[in-house]
Amino acid sequence: MNLENRKGKFDTAYIFIEPNGYGIQLVNCTQTIVKNSKIIDVFGQGVRITGDNNQTTSDITIESNRIAYIYDDAVKFEVKGDQNDQSPELAKLPFKGGVVRNNIIHDIGLGVTRLPFARHGMYLKAADILVEGNTIYNCFYGSGISLRNAGIIRNNTIWNCAYACIAYHAQTKTTESTKEVIIENNNCLQEYGMDFPMRHIANPTKGFNACVYGCIMLGIDNKQADSPLFIEQFIVRNNTCKLYKDYPSELDKRTIENDYPKITGRRPIPMLHVGGRPSETKLEINGNTFMDNRKQKCYFNTGAVVGIDTSSNVFK
């Protein structure tokens, strides 16, 4: 179902077995609500929000829907022509705002054997989006929530995601955002993990990417204050994170040799991974409960919390 240049409420749709394309696609829509819909067995994306630029699409709310058994991403926000994650500094400005609230999302990324790279419960190239009260589970080829800009992720329950329950990647311009990421009051649970390689179709020579990243992953990627992708502050607070005993403790490191993956070593898998934090970026980790039931416990990756007071957290 495709809606273009629309405004208003879209309520109680039932979309089953969509053979290709999208369950619901919003193109250049404003002040639009998708609510109380059931979007099941879609070969493409469940709900896709797109537009020509960040002015043509705004005030989108995705609320109280069930989105399940989806081949691709369940919910995706992305400006047209902004598909290349390899050069985000050259990309268009993302949409501003948006709400994704009280949805049930499960069994996502069913095209795992054919898709070129990760597919997520939510793939969010939007500035200052609010994601709250959602239940997300069984994301077979990506994260439960994959945030690419400033935003608030709160009061969600997420479990059994192949990559991370909640992940941030520095891949869209933040120049018109609050430059703040808040992750709070979420329940992140991982019962098991799958260590298999993924190759990025946009840059096939880059190498294979491992799929297991614990509960929360912040891919800050050393974006400093002069970068258009800079985030000034990350706050991770009052979350409950749990890894069960069968979740892997280590992951293969891989490189490419003669166009095939070569294992070069192993690395630990932390519950909270922070990658490439520059000195200009503030990081707060307060009031969380980290429960690691693996024999080889690992709460943070090496160097992630240097200079940060983590004494208010509970470690089990």
pLDDT in tens, 181-192: 999 999 999 998
Tell me what pLDDT residue 118 has: 78
For 89, phi and psi rounded to 5 degrees?
-65, -25
Is the C-alpha dihedral spanning 163, 59, 89, 223 positive or negative?
Answer: negative
Least confident range of 2-11, 268-277, 281-290: 2-11
Tell me what pLDDT residue 14 has: 52
Give residue-wise pLDDT tens across range 36-49: 999 999 888 999 99
Most confident of 68-72, 202-206, 218-222, 235-239: 235-239
Number of domains in the chain: 1
Provide the residue range defining the domain that includes 252.
2-315
For 282, phi and psi rounded to 5 degrees?
-85, 140
Show the tokens assigned to 241: 């994170």
Q: Are 183 and 161 spatial neighbours (Cβ–Cβ below 8 Å)?
A: no
In this prediction, residues 266-271 reach a mean pLDDT of: 88
- Cα separation, 186 vs 291, whole angstroms: 14
Count of CB atoms situated within 10 Å of the CB of 8: 11
Residue 64 has pLDDT above 80, yes or no: yes
Residue bearing tokens 């609010």 = 130
Tell me what pLDDT residue 204 has: 47
In this prediction, residues 113-128 reach a mean pLDDT of: 83
Residue 201 has pLDDT above 50, yes or no: no
- Residue 133 pLDDT level (bands cut at 50, 70, 90): very high
3-class DSSP state of 88 = helix
In this prediction, residues 235-255 reach a mean pLDDT of: 88
Tell me what pLDDT residue 81 has: 62
Count of CB atoms situated within 10 Å of the CB of 280: 13
- Cα separation, 131 vs 113, whole angstroms: 29
Least confident range of 194-203, 233-242, 282-291, 297-306: 194-203
Count of CB atoms situated within 10 Å of the CB of 165: 32
The rounded percent of the chain whose pLDDT value lies above 90 is 51
DSSP 201: T
In this prediction, residues 118-141 reach a mean pLDDT of: 94
